[in-house]
Amino acid sequence: MENPEWTPPPPPDDGSIFSSGTREYYAAEIRRNSTKALVFGILSIFCCPPIFAYYAFTTAQEVIANIETYEVEENRKGLAQAAKVLSIVGIVLWVIGLIIRIAGVR
């Protein structure tokens, strides 16, 4: 016999508007992309700064936005910020190298 007054239980109150499946998906995405952004940031110092710095910076921005939106993997925010700093350093070193090369300083 079914109880006609039965209602389903409320969702868990973890303070998030997103389901646990959505949060798990974005947590995995954040882990993957934060590492990728850091690798791109390191590569931007050593080779092809315009390309790798762009990828590092945009990937890190996306990671930070996902962390703030889905409130998961907040410990990865430091990796994303480090990737942004490395990409900026890579571009600055590249510009300094261009200036030195154009000026003909030996």
Whether 87 maps to a domain, the answer reads yes
Looking at the structure of the chain, the number of domains it has is 1
Residue bearing tokens 């499946």: 21
CA angle 40, 60, 76 (to 5 degrees): 105
pLDDT, tens digit (0-9, with 9 covering 90-100), for 4-34: 788 876 666 667 788 888 899 999 999 999 9
Residue 33 included in any domain: yes
In a domain? residue 7 = no
pLDDT of 46-73, one tens digit each?
999 999 999 999 999 999 999 999 999 9
Contact 40, 59 (CB under 8 A): yes
Which residues span the domain enclosing 82? 20-103
- Cα separation, 84 vs 37, in Å, equals 8
Question: Does 6 reside within a domain?
Answer: no
Predicted structure pTM score: 0.81
